[in-house]
Amino acid sequence: MIKDNVYIKLFACCILVKGAKRATIVDIQRHDYMFVPLGISEILEEGKSRPIEEVLQGYNAADVANITKYLDHLITREYAFRTTEPELYPRLSLEWKNSSLISNAIIDFDYHSDYPVEPIIDQLEKLGCETVQVRYFDAACILWVSQLLSTFARGMGKIRNIQLVLGYSREMDKSSLIRLMQKHERLTEIIIHSAPEESLLIHQKRYPLRFIKQEIKDESHCGFVSPKYFRINAPFFIESQHFNSCLNAKVSVDKNGMIKNCPAMDSTYGHVNDLSIDDVVIRQDYLDWGNISKDQVEGCSDCEFRYICSDCRVFTKTGGRYAKPASCTYNPYTMSWEQEPVIKEKQGAF
C-alpha cells in the first residue's frame, strides 16, 4: 500500500550500480549483493528526492502493483526502507584518500634471486605500506623464511600483514609453520603451493595455513575473474570508484629485483640496487596505472559488478591499457558468463 509523502530509500550501505542491462544493489555492510532490473533502479534513483507515489504517477495500475511488490521485496530483504523524513538519511560518502603512498606490495623470489630484501622492507616501512605478500616460486627453505620474518620484525612495525606464498619442501611441515605464525604475529596467511596434499588449518581461528597442490611457478599465476573472487566490502568498493582495484598504491619487486607496478608487467622502473622505491612511486608513469578505474575499462564500464570485481591491467583481452581482463568471461550485455570462470587459487591481489 503506497501512502502520501512516503519515500522508499536504500540503506546508506546499499548502493546501486547500474550495468548495461541490469543493476546490482551492493550491500557493503553485509558483504552481499542482489540484482535489480534497470527499471527498478531508475525508480529508486528518482525516489531519492520524490515521494514514491509521485514517482509512480503515470504508470498503469498493473505496473504500480508489480513495482510495489518489488519494492516490498527490497524492504523485506532489508536493502530499503520507507520513511517520511528522507533528509534524516544522508548518502554514504564515497570519497577515497590513500592514507599512504603505498598500501600493499609484492616481493617475489625464486631459487636464482640474489637481491637484498632488507632495504626493500625499510623503504616499504617508510612509505607506510601495511600489507606485503612475499612469494617464493621454488621449494622454500624454512631457515630462509625464518630469516625473512626476522628482517620484517626489525622494522618500524608499519607493515601489519605479511602473507607468504611458498613452494613446498619437506621442511614445510605444519608444526614448523605454526611455530612461525605464533612467533610472528603479523604473519596473517601462509600458502604452500606444489604440496603433495591439500589441507587447511586456521591458526588462532583467524590466520589460514593452506597447503595446495597447484603449482605457482611464476608471476603469471594471477588475474583471474570469477564471482568467487568478488570482494564486497566498503574499502574495496569505494577505492574502485576512483582507482584501479589492483594497482592503486601497490608496488612490486619481481624475482630479478626489478621494481614494477605488478611483477607480471614487462615494463620496469629499474633494479632495487640502483634506485629506491620512494623515487619510483611518485613518478607519473607509475601513478598512471593506479589511476585506471573500472569505469575506464572497456566492457567493465558497463558491468554491474565493476566495483566488487578485482581488476587486472596485465593480462587483458587485447593487451591494450584499457582492455578487459583476459580471463573474464562475463558479458554485461547478455548478463551471462560465456564460459565457466577460471577458478584457481588466487594470488597477487589484495
Q: How far is the CB of 165 from ligand SF4 (least distance, A)?
A: 23
Cell of 127: 612509505
Give me the 277-316 binding string for ligand SF4, x by CB under 6 A, dash otherwise: -----------------x----xx--x-xx--x-------
Please answer whether residues 104 and 130 qualify as being in contact, where contact means their C-beta atoms are separated by less than 8 angstroms. Answer: yes
Q: How far is the CB of 304 from ligand SF4 (least distance, A)?
A: 8
Residue among 257 and 299 whose Cβ is closer to ligand SF4: 299
Among the listed ranges 90-98, 159-167, 238-246, 326-334, the one in contact with ligand SF4 (CB under 6 A) is 326-334
Q: How far is the CB of 231 from ligand SF4 (least distance, A)?
A: 11
> Cβ of 315: how many Cβ atoms within 10 Å?
18
What's the order of all strands across the beta sheet hosting 22-27?
14-18, 22-27, 32-37
Q: How far is the CB of 163 from ligand SF4 (least distance, A)?
A: 23
Q: How far is the CB of 319 from ligand SF4 (least distance, A)?
A: 15
Q: How far is CA 110 from the centre of its chain?
A: 26
Among the listed ranges 42-50, 64-72, 164-172, 320-328, the one in contact with ligand SF4 (CB under 6 A) is 320-328
Residue 247 engages ligand SF4 in binding (rule: CB under 6 A): no
Residue 309 vs residues 25, 35, 224, 245: alpha-carbon distances, Å: 14, 15, 10, 8
Cell of 165: 606464498
Residue 223 engages ligand SF4 in binding (rule: CB under 6 A): no
Residue among 82 and 231 whose Cβ is closer to ligand SF4: 231
Residue 222 engages ligand SF4 in binding (rule: CB under 6 A): no
Residue among 187 and 312 whose Cβ is closer to ligand SF4: 312
105, 107, 328, 349: which one binds ligand SF4 (CB under 6 A): 328
Q: How far is the CB of 254 from ligand SF4 (least distance, A)?
A: 24
CA distance 253 to 262: 8
Residue among 315 and 330 whose Cβ is closer to ligand SF4: 330
Residue among 280 and 328 whose Cβ is closer to ligand SF4: 328
Please answer whether residues 106 and 253 qualify as being in contact, where contact means their C-beta atoms are separated by less than 8 angstroms. Answer: yes
Please answer whether residues 222 and 347 qualify as being in contact, where contact means their C-beta atoms are separated by less than 8 angstroms. Answer: yes
DSSP H stretches of helix in the chain: 38-46, 52-55, 61-76, 118-127, 142-153, 174-183, 234-242, 277-280, 284-290
Residue among 20 and 141 whose Cβ is closer to ligand SF4: 20
Crossing angle of helices 38-46 and 61-76, rounded to 10°:
80
Crossing angle of helices 174-183 and 142-153, rounded to 10°:
10
Give me the 225-244 binding string for ligand SF4, x by CB under 6 A, dash otherwise: x-------------------
Residue among 17 and 253 whose Cβ is closer to ligand SF4: 17
CA distance 280 to 289: 13
Residue holding cell 581482463? 325
Residue among 38 and 64 whose Cβ is closer to ligand SF4: 38
Where along the sequence are the contacts to ligand SF4 (CB under 6 A)?
Answer: 225, 294, 299-300, 303, 305-306, 309, 324-325, 328, 330, 332
